[in-house]
Structure 1
Amino acid sequence: MKTYKYITLFAVFTASLLFVQCSGEDDKVITQETCTDGILNGDETEIDCGGTACEPCGQTLDFSGTYVQEDQMGRPGINTVFGTEGFKDAFNVTVPSQMQAEFQTKFETKLLALNPAYTSNALGLNAEVFTTVLSNDVLWLAQSGITTYFNGTEVLTGRALSDDVIDVSLLLIFGGADGTENPGLTSDGVPTNDVAFSNSFPYLAEPF
């Protein structure tokens, strides 16, 4: 198998610091993609600086105060499945560098409870190694090559929007060494979105 150098991405979702100029009543319509409160008008290019969608004008958001992390979502569904035995909240607030030492054995116990016959998976990982990977809940990204959660060859080199990460996780938990064991448990039966992905950033599908 090819060896990739991975970097760990920590996605921090914050509101953008946006600046909008308002010089007077004659300059109400400006060309901006966003506004101070993230609300767009009409065709998403025109903002009325005198309206509610652009108030307060010329100011930035206040990030003062104390913040705490509430959720851990490096890989979708990992904490939902493995963090259910009384430590889900603790897992959510643990920094990735401490996750494996704190949670690997708990993940392994849960894995073997879910699939007592587990010995290896399609990646060739035994229970200890597999749960060591899973308990470090970050999204890896290969610096070159194909970006995919798992395409049968490349593994965890990133995540494309169309990747069925839940099916991949189920396959690795229940599918055995060749991916053919427990066929009724290796897919959630949802192959695609109900709505197509957008062609523009952030490319997510509209709510259905």
Structure 2
Amino acid sequence: MKTFKYITLFAAITTSLLFVQCKDEDDNVIINATCSDGILNGNETGIDCGGTACLPCGEVLDFSGTYIQEDQMGRPGINTVFGSTGFKDAFNVTVPSEMQAAFQSKFQTNLLTLNAGYTTNALGLNAEVFTTVLSNDVLWLAQTGITTYFNGTEILTGRALSDDVIDVSLLLIFGGPDGTENPTLTSDGVPANDVAFSSTFPYMVGPF
């Protein structure tokens, strides 16, 4: 039984010619600061913005060069579980519109290797249909209704922070048609965070 641990890091840097948003680490206040002679002068006198997010006057971020995609994680753990040596890297750099044609059959082979007795899962999906859904590694989002990865009724309408996506994935792989098969394989044993989510963006608990 493997336990997967994911740490999601969020970072946002906003720059323009006239204004820079900076974070004052002392009191977590976001201030609008303007440049004057290379010094960032904010709404709060004496605040030293500091850090790489705050650039000297006239300096702009350089986005020139060639960039390549390094990772694909629409749904946590999909490539970790279904990707194999030889195509994990290829999967990470494939655009979603091309994923199903390239990887569905490989995912199906690996699904049946993980669970040779797989017939259908709690969503009623057979191996071919299930891996067709999984191989298109994007996070769906319903614009109305409940946002949930899977709550027993709604299916992949988004992802709430408290959704246990690893348990959902394990349940759909090993739980069988009614979700009760292989009970020792349908949970990673981590039911919730040990620290509460933040009430402000980005809501995730910081690394510690």
Give the TM-score category using the shorter length. 0.7 to 0.9
The number of residue pairs the alignment matches comes to: 183
The aligned runs of 1:1-208 (5 Å cut-off) are: 15-19=12-16, 34-35=21-22, 40-45=24-29, 49=40, 51=48, 52-53=50-51, 54-57=54-57, 59-208=59-208
Question: Match for residue 44 of structure 2?
Answer: none
- Separation of aligned partners in 1, 2:195 and 2:11: 26
TM-score (norm 2): 0.81
What one-letter code is carried by the residue in structure 1 that aligns with 2:70?
A: E
Bigger drift between 129-138 and 79-88 goes to 79-88
SS of the residue corresponding to residue 49 of structure 1 reads strand
Higher relative contact order (CA 8 A, sep 6+): 1
Q: Provide the C-alpha distance between the structure 2 equivalents of 1:42 and 1:59, rounded to a whole number of angstroms.
A: 25
Give unpaired runs (5+ residues) of structure 2: 1-9, 34-38, 42-47
Taking structure 1 as the reference length, what is the TM-score of the superposition?
Answer: 0.81
In structure 1, the gaps of 5 or more residues are 1-12, 23-31
Per-residue CA distance 1:19-65 (angstroms, 9 max, x = gap)? 4859xxxxxxxxx7x33xxx543112257827433332453322111
Partner of 2:6: none
- What is the RMSD of the two structures over their aligned residues, measured on CA atoms? 2.2
Question: Bigger CA drift: 138-147 or 54-63?
Answer: 54-63
Code of the residue aligned with 2:25 in structure 1: it is: N
Identity %: 73
Alpha-carbon spacing, 1:136–1:102, altered in 2? closer, same or farther (3 Å)? same
* Corresponding letter in the other structure for 2:86: G
